[in-house]
Amino acid sequence: MLRIAVPNKGSLSEPAVAMLREAGYKQRRDSRELVLADPENDAEFFFLRPRDVAVYVGAGTVDAGITGRDLLLDSGADAVEHLPLGFARSTFRFAAPAGTMTSVTEIAGRRVASSYTTLVGRHLADQGVEAAAIVHLDGAVESSVQLGVADVIADVVETGSTLRAAGLEVFGEPILRSEAVLVRRADADLTNGISVLTRRLQGVLTARQWVLMDYVVPNDLLDAAVGITPGFESPTVSPLHESGWSAVRVMVERVTMNRTMDALYDVGARGVLVTSILASRL
C-alpha cells in the first residue's frame, strides 16, 4: 500500500487534489477528511499541513508527498524532490520599503522577518551576510516592517500585489524559484508504487502541456510542414485517399498551438485540428 501525504490547506491543497484525481486516484470531497483509503489503486492518502508533508516523508511514515520546493528546503527533512508538478509557482525574495535597499549585502546588521527562517538563514550564510536577527512569523509577513518587528522581509512572491499594498519592493536576486513538487525519502525504494504514482503524474503533466494536432498537406510541402511540427519524438505521416496529399498527426506544446497553426497554414497545410489529450503514458 502506497502512503501519500497531500496538503490539507493553503495554495497547494486544491491543485494537488485536482492533479491526483486527474491521475485516477480517489480523492476527498470533504475538506475535513484527514485520511482516505483508495484500495483500487492500493494507495492511502493523508491530508496534512503543507509544512509538515516533508517531515512525514523524511521520517518514512509516508512514502511520498506533495509540497512546495520552498517548504521542502526550509524543513531540513530527509526528503528529496522527485518530480516538479508545475503548479503553485512562486519566487522567494527579499523585500524592503520601496527605494531603501538595493543589494543583499545591505541586510547586514538588520532584522529579517520570514516564515522560512531556515531557508533565509542558510541563504544569508552562503552570501556571507550577518543579519541582526531572523524573526520567525507564521504569515502576513509583509506587515512586519510597518509594525516595527523587522527592517526587511523574505517571502513568497507571485504577482507582487501583496508587497505593493504594503509599500514594499523586492531587491537582490531571487533566493529561490518554487513550485509544487512530489517528494520522497532520499533512500526510497523506487521499485514500489512510487514509480506508478510518478508515471501517472507525468501522464497528467504531459496531457496538460501538450495537444494533439492533425492536418493535411500536399506531399511537396510535407517537409516544410513537418519542420514546423517536429513533435515530441516524430510525427505520424499517412497517405490520404486523394493522391498527392498526406495526413500528419503530431504532439504540439499547448502554449505554441495557435502560432503553430498560423505557420502551418502559411506553408500550405489545411484542415488543421487540435484535440486535447485526456491522459498519457509516454
Ligand X SMILES: O=P(O)(O)OC[C@H]1O[C@H](OP(=O)(O)OP(=O)(O)O)[C@H](O)[C@@H]1O
Report d(CA 95, CA 172) in Å as an integer. Answer: 9
Q: Which does 182 bind (CB under 5 to 8 A by kind): ligand ATP, Mg ion, ligand X, none?
A: none
Closer residue to ligand X, CB minimum distance, 161 or 234: 161
Question: Out of 22, 52, 63, 70, which residue is the one contacting ligand ATP (CB under 6 A)?
Answer: 70
Asked if residues 238 and 246 have their Cβ atoms less than 8 Å apart, the reply is yes
Instruction: Out of 1, 9, 33, 61, name the contact with ligand ATP by CB under 6 A.
Output: 9
Which residues, other chains included, contact 42 with Cβ-Cβ below 8 Å and sequence gap of 6+? 1, 2, 193
Q: Would you count residue 157 as binding ligand X (CB under 6 A)?
A: yes
Say which entry of ligand X, ligand ATP, Mg ion, none residue 50 contacts (CB below 5 to 8 A, set by partner kind).
ligand ATP
Site string for Mg ion, 122-141 (x = CB under 5 A): -----------------x--
Footprint on residues 103-142 left by ligand X (CB under 6 A): 139-142
| Residue 102 C-beta: closest distance to Mg ion, Å | 27
Min dist. Cβ of residue 253 to ligand X (A)? 26
- Measured distance CA(277)–CA(206) in Å, rounded: 8
First to last CA, the chain: 25
- The whole-angstrom separation of Cα 145 and Cα 168 is 9
SS3 of residue 130 by DSSP:
coil
Closest separation between CB of residue 158 and ligand X, Å? 3
The piece of 76-84, 122-130, 159-167, 216-224 that touches ligand X (CB under 6 A) is 159-167
The interface with ligand ATP within residues 138-167 (CB under 6 A) comprises 139, 156, 158
Q: How many residues bind ligand ATP (CB under 6 A)?
A: 14
Distance CA(212)–CA(275), nearest Å, equals 5
Instruction: Report residue 31: phi and psi, to 5°.
Output: -70, -5
Report the interhelical angle of 13-22 vs 194-209 (nearest 10°): 100
Closest CA to 5 of 92, 76, 71: 71
Does residue number 90 form part of the binding site for ligand ATP (CB under 6 A)?
A: yes
Measure the CA–CA gap between 103 and 241, rounded to whole angstroms. 66
In the complex, least distance from residue 94 CB atom to ligand ATP, rounded to whole angstroms: 15
Of 3-11, 93-101, 164-172, 213-221, the segment contacting ligand ATP by CB under 6 A is 3-11
> Interface residues with ligand X (CB under 6 A)?
139-142, 155-162
